[in-house]
């Protein structure tokens, strides 16, 4: 069935270093890949997303890359800051149709700790 695997489950970096989180998906029809940041006591917040017709997208210190052939995508955070500490989730969504109206399949999450 549909599945998204996310690694690592925990990641600790020094402030200023880069952090990379990787995800693989099983449904080759997936065409939309968002990343969410979840802080303690809050809901997931969309930080960046990428569609299958694009290989890379960047927004300031955050970038996402997509390899459709290998069915994996990655989140890159550069110049990390303590406020980047949170749980990050990747997700995948299949195209609309055949009963699918847009549910997201989430990875298991990565707890990022940025040490000052």
Partner 1 sequence: DAGVTQSPTHLIKTRGQQVTLRCSPKSGHDTVSWYQQALGQGPQFIFQYYEEEERQRGNFPDRFSGHQFPNYSSELNVNALLLGDSALYLCASSLRGNSYNSPLHFGNGTRLTVT
Find the shortest distance in angstroms from Cβ 95 to partner 1. 8
Name which position in 54, 58, 100, 115 contacts partner 1 (CB under 8 A): 100
How do strand 4-7 and strand 19-25 relate by DSSP bridges? antiparallel
Show contacts with partner 1 in window 34-93 (CB under 8 A).
34, 36, 41-46, 49, 51, 89, 91
Indicate the SS3 state at residue 114. Answer: strand
CA distance 4 to 24: 6
Q: Are 67 and 50 in contact (CB under 8 A)?
A: no
Find the shortest distance in angstroms from Cβ 36 to partner 1. 7
33 sits near partner 1 (criterion: CB under 8 A): no
């Amino acid at each position: 069935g549909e599945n998204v695997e996310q690694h690592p489950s925990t990641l600790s970096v020094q402030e200023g270093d880069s952090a990379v989180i990787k995800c693989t998906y099983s449904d080759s029809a997936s065409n939309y890949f968002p990343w969410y940041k979840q802080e303690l006591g809050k809901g997931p917040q969309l930080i960046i997303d990428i569609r299958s017709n694009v290989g890379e997208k960047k927004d300031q210190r955050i970038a996402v890359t997509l390899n459709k052939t290998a069915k994996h995508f990655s989140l890159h955070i550069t110049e990390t800051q303590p406020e980047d500490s949170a749980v990050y989730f990747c997700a995948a969504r299949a195209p609309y149709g055949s009963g699918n109206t847009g549910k997201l399949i989430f990875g298991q999450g990565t707890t990022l700790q940025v040490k000052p």
